[in-house]
Amino acid sequence: MTSHDVVARARRVLGERSIGHTGTLDPFATGLLVLLVGKGTRVARFLDGLGKTYLATARLGQRTATDDLTGEPVGPAHEGPLPAREEIARVLAGFLGVQAQTPPAYSARKQGGERAYARARRGEPVELAPSQVTVYQAELLSVEGAEVTFRVTVSTGTYVRAIARDLGERLGTGAHLTALRRESIGSLRVEDALPLDALAPDTPLWPLGAVLSHLPRVPLDEAGRVDVAHGRAVEGVVSGTAVLLAGNEVIAVAEGDGRWLRPTVVLAAP
């Protein structure tokens, strides 16, 4: 099942066409997929910068064309002993911080105006420019033979498949990803999510205020609510992005300069 398949099912069940997701999951992956429904789709960009935590398993000893278990093997399999746990932990720790990461050839990144995976499937060469990513956390959990399980927290745009690939390269064994589970996006955690099979037309959905809980919150009085609903700025000492609320209702998301809060996305009717 693809992320698009999940959205399509949610549209049918909820009877709502305006549904989108934040952050695609590979079809073989599991875990958290955040869906934004109705007017919630308008706040997607405010979730883009949140760190994402993944539980991943890489298999040492063989590269694949897709950098995961769905691809054909590339090159010969590694022969000889595998690295010790201490060496794997040391190399994995080396991924921490800001770095340049080359996206997988089978990815949605574009080359010459076309998705890289389309070129790769035709057997054409794919040369993607590295992008800057950040690995905030990298923890080795277990090593069982060639199977290496680890947890990483990464910035938007980071490919965990590429981390598995590069881990194998740095260890001199080659590697590919065999399992991936997204555990969280910011403060949104998979254990709080609704299983897709449990989604029903009357399912209560999370309020936008909870989804945007990582942003500063500014309460509005009635006059402020009316002004913001009409797109007018209101006074406020917040600098940067903030959520403007009347009670528990999100009225708008605004940008503040320390004196004024100017609505960028208005969600409430005047």
Take residue 259 and report the two structure tokens written for it: 């004196």
> Do 224 and 103 reside in the same domain of the chain?
no
Number of domains in the chain: 3
Q: pLDDT (tens digit, 9 = 90+) per residue, 133-188? A: 999 999 999 999 999 999 999 999 999 999 999 999 999 999 999 999 999 999 99
Q: Is the dihedral of CA 64, 71, 164, 166 positive or negative?
A: positive
Query: What dihedral angle (degrees, nearest 10) is formed by the CA atoms of 6, 10, 12, 17?
Result: -100
Q: pLDDT (tens digit, 9 = 90+) per residue, 202-214? A: 999 999 999 999 9
> Do 40 and 105 reside in the same domain of the chain?
no
Share the mean pLDDT of the chain: 94
Share of the chain above pLDDT 70, in %: 100
* Catalytic residue list contains 26: yes
Q: Quick check: is 206 in a domain?
A: no
> Is residue 177 within 8 Å of 160, Cβ to Cβ?
yes
- Catalytically annotated residue among 26, 68, 166, 227: 26
> Do 224 and 242 reside in the same domain of the chain?
yes
Q: pLDDT (tens digit, 9 = 90+) per residue, 69-120? A: 999 999 999 999 999 999 999 999 999 999 999 998 888 888 777 888 888 8
Instruction: Count CB neighbours of 154 within 10 A.
Output: 21
> Do 70 and 131 reside in the same domain of the chain?
yes
> Do 85 and 154 reside in the same domain of the chain?
yes
> Do 60 and 39 reside in the same domain of the chain?
no
> Do 111 and 127 reside in the same domain of the chain?
yes
> Is residue 176 within 8 Å of 168, Cβ to Cβ?
yes
- Report the distance separating Cα 154 and Cα 96, nearest Å: 9
> Do 147 and 235 reside in the same domain of the chain?
no
Q: Quick check: is 7 in a domain?
A: yes
Q: Quick check: is 57 in a domain?
A: yes
> Is residue 145 within 8 Å of 135, Cβ to Cβ?
no
37 lies in which domain range? 3-49+187-198
Q: Quick check: is 210 in a domain?
A: no
> Do 89 and 174 reside in the same domain of the chain?
yes
Q: Quick check: is 229 in a domain?
A: yes
> Do 56 and 109 reside in the same domain of the chain?
yes
Rounded to 10 deg, the angle between the 160-171 and 85-93 helix axes is: 130
The pLDDT value given to residue 236: 93
pLDDT at 32 exceeding the cut of 80: yes
**What's 160's domain CATH number?**
3.30.2350.10
Buried b (16+ CB within 10 A) or exposed e, 113-142: eeebbebbeeeeebeeeebebbbeebebee
- Report the distance separating Cα 168 and Cα 91, nearest Å: 10
